[in-house]
């Protein structure tokens, strides 16, 4: 962003040296087609002579309210004290200058950040008579830089939680089969083991190994079900819900619109993870016997709703979850997955149950056809 502003400022200075841009109106006209970079021309008394539409929108002040006035008259003493010395320096030395400014404009609620390039404008005799200013807003970039450490920390916590969950599943299932197999092999290795006992232990070991393979396959599918790649979200959701109902004893009713086209990969994965987390939370916290799942697919968006009919979430905890302050890692993970896709994530709850909903916009150019349509 800085390089872009500096280059524009450099180009501006080169053009302004010629007679073509001897008037501020001509200069502004040359750059009026740049919608995201603000331009202004000041006289040697630091009064606005011209502004482009981008600067009007950045400042939130009409063009007429700038003309003939100084920065101090338009924005007040605080901002003037920061920029006027730089403007005066450029007029006095005839050298370009770049600096950053962080301030709260009168027209804005939040603090903003800008990169400012000042360029001396000369007349035909070479004397500096005007000042050109290029302004590039970098507020969003600053916000991203400030939020990056917090986001990285949260992502690390989410990853650690997922790793602990996988480790727990492996310990509680696969490791138990391994321990049983080890005991059987120890008995089989004893010299005094009778042929009949040896045959029985061997049959038990084969059965344990088959169960271990089945459990490993189940865990692998839960981490990333092959059906999600092969058939799409609806098929993978029905497969997962069937197994979830068998394991938990909770009846899950799935209502999905027919899949005519495949959704983008990131959208399908996000929806599947939200379904997993919402059902897991319903099993652990809701004390419900029934959960309803709704998936509605439209041309421009897809909506997923998971509604349990349990005891609901206490108001204090619900407020923390809704504001993302002190909420669980699972809820934070769901919210961040949806926000990454520019979607909307909501949790509503009362004594009749909890509703987790997610809505994700769909870009037509990202929608991929199903295998049958290829």
DSSP string, 146-214: HHHHHHHHHHHHHHHHHHHHHHHHIIIIIHHHHHHHHHHHHHHT-TT--HHHHHHHHHHHHHHHHHHHH
pLDDT bracket for residue 11 (50, 70, 90)? very low
Give the pLDDT of residue 370: 41
Q: Name the percent of the chain lying above pLDDT 90.
A: 26
CATH no., domain 2-137: 3.30.450.20
pLDDT bracket for residue 356 (50, 70, 90)? very high
Between 33 and 269, name the one with better pLDDT. Answer: 269
Helix, strand and coil in the chain, % to nearest 5? 55, 20, 25
Give the pLDDT of residue 87: 93
In the chain, DSSP finds a helix count (H) and a strand count (E) of 13, 10
CATH class given for the domain over 226-374: alpha beta
Cα–Cα distance measured from residue 374 to residue 262, given in angstroms and rounded to the nearest whole number: 11
Token pair for residue 335?
């919210």
Cα–Cα distance measured from residue 309 to residue 233, given in angstroms and rounded to the nearest whole number: 24
**CA 290 vs CA 77, 85, 239, 255, 352: distances in Å:** 64, 69, 17, 14, 12
**CA 179 vs CA 155, 193, 197: distances in Å:** 34, 20, 19
pLDDT bracket for residue 34 (50, 70, 90)? low
Give the pLDDT of residue 180: 80
Phi, psi dihedrals of residue 291, rounded to the nearest 5°: -130, 135
Q: Is 229 left (phi over 0), alpha (psi -120 to 50) or beta?
A: alpha
Between 257 and 99, name the one with better pLDDT. Answer: 99
Whether residue 291 has pLDDT greater than 80? yes
Residue among 291, 310, 322, 307 at smallest CA distance from 352: 310
Give the model confidence (pLDDT) of 113-160 as tens digits. 889 999 899 888 889 999 999 898 888 877 777 666 666 666 667 667
- Give pTM, 2 decimals: 0.49
Give the pLDDT of residue 28: 54
Residue among 47, 51, 46 at smallest CA distance from 62: 51
Q: Which of 151-160, 248-257, 345-354, 355-364 has the lowest mean pLDDT?
A: 151-160
**CA 71 vs CA 80, 93, 117, 321: distances in Å:** 6, 20, 15, 45
pLDDT bracket for residue 78 (50, 70, 90)? confident
Work out the number of other CB atoms within 10 angstroms of the CB of residue 332. 17
Q: What mean pLDDT do residues 246-264 have?
A: 85
Whether residue 1 has pLDDT greater than 50? no
pLDDT bracket for residue 364 (50, 70, 90)? very low
């Amino acid at each position: 962003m800085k390089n872009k502003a500096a280059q524009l400022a450099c180009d501006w200075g080169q053009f302004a040296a010629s007679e073509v841009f001897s008037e501020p109106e001509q200069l502004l006209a040359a750059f009026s087609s740049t919608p995201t970079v603000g331009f202004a021309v000041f006289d040697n008394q630091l009064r606005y002579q011209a502004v482009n539409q981008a600067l009007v929108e950045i400042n939130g002040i009409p063009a007429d309210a700038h003309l003939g006035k100084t920065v101090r008259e338009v924005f007040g003493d605080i901002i003037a004290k920061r920029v006027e010395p730089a403007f005066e320096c450029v007029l006095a030395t005839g050298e370009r200058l770049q600096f950053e400014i962080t301030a709260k404009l009168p027209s804005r609620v939040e603090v903003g950040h800008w990169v400012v390039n000042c360029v001396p404008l000369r007349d035909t005799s070479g004397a500096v008579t005007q000042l050109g200013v290029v302004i590039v807003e970098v507020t969003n970039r600053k916000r991203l830089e400030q939020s990056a450490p917090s986001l990285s920390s949260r992502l690390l916590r989410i990853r650690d939680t997922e790793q602990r969950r996988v480790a727990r599943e492996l310990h509680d299932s696969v490791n138990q089969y391994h321990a049983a197999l080890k005991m059987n092999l120890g008995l089989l290795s004893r010299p005094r083991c009778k042929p009949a006992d040896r045959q029985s232990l061997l049959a038990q070991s084969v059965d344990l190994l088959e169960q271990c393979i089945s459990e490993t396959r189940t865990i692998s599918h839960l981490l990333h079900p092959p059906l999600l790649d092969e058939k799409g979200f609806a098929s993978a959701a029905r497969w997962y819900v069937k197994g979830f109902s068998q394991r938990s004893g909770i009846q899950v009713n799935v209502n999905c619109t027919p899949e005519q086209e495949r959704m983008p990969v990131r959208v399908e994965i996000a929806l599947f993870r939200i379904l997993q987390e919402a059902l897991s939370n319903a099993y652990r916290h809701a004390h419900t016997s029934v959960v309803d799942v709704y998936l509605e697919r439209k041309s421009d968006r897809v909506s997923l709703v998971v509604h349990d009919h349990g005891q609901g979430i206490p108001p204090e905890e619900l407020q923390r979850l809704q504001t993302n302050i002190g909420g669980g890692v699972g809820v934070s993970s769901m919210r961040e997955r949806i926000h990454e896709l520019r979607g909307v994530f909501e949790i509503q709850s009362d004594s009749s149950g909890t509703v987790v909903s997610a809505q994700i916009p769909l870009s037509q150019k990202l929608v991929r056809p199903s295998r049958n349509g290829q």
